[in-house]
Amino acid sequence: MLDDLLNASGLPRREAIALLEAASGLRREALIAHGSDPTPSEVQALFERMVAQRRLGVPIAYLTGFREFYGRSFWVSPATLIPRIETELLIDTVIDLTRAAERPLRLADLGTGSGCIGITLALEIRSAEITATDRSAAALQVARNNAAFLGAAPKTRFFEGSWFDALPRDRVKYHGLISNPPYVSAGDPHLSRGDLRFEPKAALSPAATGDGTTAQSDGLSDIAILATGAPEWLETGGFLLVEHGSEQQAAVIELFRQAGLTRVRGLVDDQSLPRAVIGFRAS
């Protein structure tokens, strides 16, 4: 019986239903409509395994295998960050900036993870042509699958490698570079709490430096690489847009200015938290 199973899980009802949907392959409406039917033993066994994992803290998205982003379902795996709602600010910003564009727009999503940023831009902006990169081959495979599954593959190409090193050296300049890079400082206590415990460390915090120093203590070293390299890869008037932590905005604005970007400004998310910075390449 549905209610007995959900109550016995000890999880919040919303979470228990999400896991039962995944275990049974049935949508919530069907589960409720058949709520008094006996649950098949294999569904119950799978559900109980998922509940046990959830009780250990495993994120719901890694158990169900997907997360919603900008109204679409993206497959995720433990190799990818779980897309966050605050990252939708990057999508809204790029859509606003490119609304009037008629020519093809070359956009790059650097550190694509599940592909949620690049694929969403490919699907939301008719003239967008997306180049998406990541240092993680496993994440890129998830992103490729999402592009195929969501119908964005014809407008999206994927490359493996570190930041600008991953981009093809075909002298192409980009109209926009967009990134949600790792920016959590290595010592941040949030890394040992909640979902973050299970997400790839390389997606959350900048990698350690080769010389063993902790240049990443402020979490800004990847953003610094992106800001410094951006002017070389942007066409005149093109933009760099990055997400950052809510206490990093002043420092990120400074990094953009030092890199020679102009019209630099900070953006806030739906919760009015400073969340992203944009800057443009002057002539």
Ligand X SMILES: C[S@@+](CC[C@H](N)C(=O)[O-])C[C@H]1O[C@@H](n2cnc3c(N)ncnc32)[C@H](O)[C@@H]1O
Residue numbers at the binding site for ligand X (CB under 6 A): 81, 83, 87, 111-114, 116-117, 133-136, 139, 162-163, 180-182, 202-203
Q: Distance between CA atoms of 73 and 26, rounded to whole angstroms?
A: 16
Question: Which residue lies nearer to ligand X by CB, 31 or 91?
Answer: 91
Pairwise CA distance, residues 155 & 104, whole Å = 11
Q: How far is CA 34 from the centre of its chain?
A: 36
Q: Exposure of 193 by Cβ count < 10 A (0-12 exposed, 13-18 middle, 19+ buried)?
A: exposed
The smaller minimum CB distance to ligand X, of residues 47 and 70, is found at 70
Least gap, CB of 96 to ligand X (angstroms): 19
Question: What whole-number distance in Å separates Cα of residue 120 and Cα of residue 132?
Answer: 12
Q: Which is nearer to ligand X, 83 or 229 (CB)?
A: 83
Instruction: Convert 250-279 to b/e letters by CB count within 10 Å (16 or more is b).
Output: ebbbebbeebebeebebbebeeeebbbbbb
Task: Let me know how long the chain is.
Answer: 283
CB 184 → ligand X: shortest distance, Å? 8
**Residue 24 or 136: which CB sits closer to ligand X?**
136
**How near is the Cβ of 32 to ligand X at its closest, in Å?**
31
Q: How far is the CB of 244 from ligand X (least distance, A)?
A: 11
Nearer to ligand X, 51 or 61 (CB): 61
Kindly tell me which of 37 and 270 has the beta carbon lying closer to ligand X.
270
Choice between 51 and 119, CB closer to ligand X: 119
Nearest distance, CB of residue 243 and ligand X, angstroms? 7
Nearest distance from residue 164's CB to ligand X, in Å?
9
Minimum distance from residue 46 beta carbon to ligand X (Å): 27
Phi, then psi, of 225 in degrees rounded to 5: -60, -45
Count of other CB atoms within 10 angstroms of residue 158? 21
Neighbours of 178 (CB within 10 A): 29
DSSP for 84-108 reads -GGGHHHHHHHHHHHTT--S-EEEE
Q: Rounded CA gap, 207 and 58, in Å?
A: 23
Burial class (CB in 10 A: 0-12, 13-18, 19+), 87: buried
